[in-house]
Chain A
Amino acid sequence: SVTKSAVAEAPQHDKVPRPVGFVPPPPPCPGKIRHFDI
């Protein structure tokens, strides 16, 4: 008979915890609007 061995939950190394207040960089394009958006 096959028994399922209990495997400890893999430590969450792949999800690096983000520092508090992390702000993703703005997308590179399109750039900022200098006057007004039509």
Chain B
Amino acid sequence: VPAAPPAPLGCDDPESEAAAEAAVNYINGHSHHGYKFTTNRIAAIRVVPQGPNNDIIFLELDLLETKCPILSPTPLANCTVRSFAEHAVEGECDVKLQKVDGTFSVLASKCHSHADSSEDILKVCPECSLLASLNNTEVLETVSAALNDYNSKTTDSYLRLLEIGRAKIQYHPGHIVVAEFAVGATNCSAKEAKANVGACQLLPKDQSNFGFCTAVMVKRPSQDLQVDCQLYGHQVPAPDTPLLSRPGVTYMHPGQDIS
């Protein structure tokens, strides 16, 4: 009597968890924007045997954004998940993997991320501040003022803006803009930049030094600007395939799609 087919994998089985971990590491390792994502739930898994010790695995993952910028060297396990009240960003990914002799490799992935709805947040937390659009004028002013302030005081290299990661504006009780943005060190010192900022270029990849800044601009009851930047030091650049990065944007692994 032919052996009964193996029971379908459960989403919480150790093998499913291992596949999800390989998929999330791939997604974070191939993204250049935003923040790292972590698994919130394995929504579905389907295994298509190809032969002995050779399976194609289709995974549906529900992810949540963490507070670690994508360029941060912090291990994902140490990255705090952004809470619901902090205006969480969730991602959904369909990933196709192959498992040969116990080793996973990602063949294709398609991801989409979006911030949670403002209505849902305000329902649970009426006084929470919400995510602002990244091209909001106040956000842009805050980032520009904060970076200028930092560069005017630093004795290290002049920093250039890479991207704004996220921003929130509170209007009550005070008027406060909080912005997080990624920066890159340039080939100028801050002093040289004062003379000729146009000559200051981001360091080449083999010397790149990225960092991350948080700026808090208080407009009311009184004006105040705080900015804190941390540089990571030189990191080995990740391969170039942007994936899960901006809320609301879907990326496909070039050339392949989940069939």
Q: What residues of chain A have their CB less than 8 Å away from a CB belonging to chain B? A: 26, 28-38
> Closest chain A residue to B88 by CB distance?
A38
Binary interface profile of B, 1-16, with partner A (CB < 8 Å = 1, else 0)? 0000000111111001
Hey, which chain B residues are within 8 Å of A35, CB to CB?
38, 40, 64, 81
Is the CB of B171 closer than 8 A to any CB of chain A? no
Given A36-B84, A38-B88, A38-B90, A31-B116 contact (CB < 8 Å) = no
| Size bracket of the B interface | 20 to 34
Instruction: Name the segment of B42-50, B127-135, B161-169, B204-212 touching the other chain.
Output: B42-50
Partner of A29, one of B11, B40, B116: B11
Q: Is the interface of A mostly helix, strand, loop or mixed?
A: loop
Contact A33 B42 (CB under 8 A): no
> Closest chain B residue to A34 by CB distance?
B40
- Bound-state CA distance A30–B41 (Å) is 7
Is the CB of B39 closer than 8 A to any CB of chain A? yes
Contact B41 A28 (CB under 8 A): no
Contact B43 A29 (CB under 8 A): yes
Hey, which chain B residues are within 8 Å of A37, CB to CB?
40-41
Hey, which chain A residues are within 8 Å of B38, CB to CB?
34-35
Contact A29 B44 (CB under 8 A): yes
Given A38-B84, A38-B90, A33-B41 contact (CB < 8 Å) = yes
Write the nearest CB–CB distance from B39 to chain A, whole angstroms: 6
Contact A31 B88 (CB under 8 A): no
Give the residue among A26, A29, A33 with the most B Cβ atoms within 10 A. A29
> Closest chain A residue to B10 by CB distance?
A28
Contact B11 A30 (CB under 8 A): yes
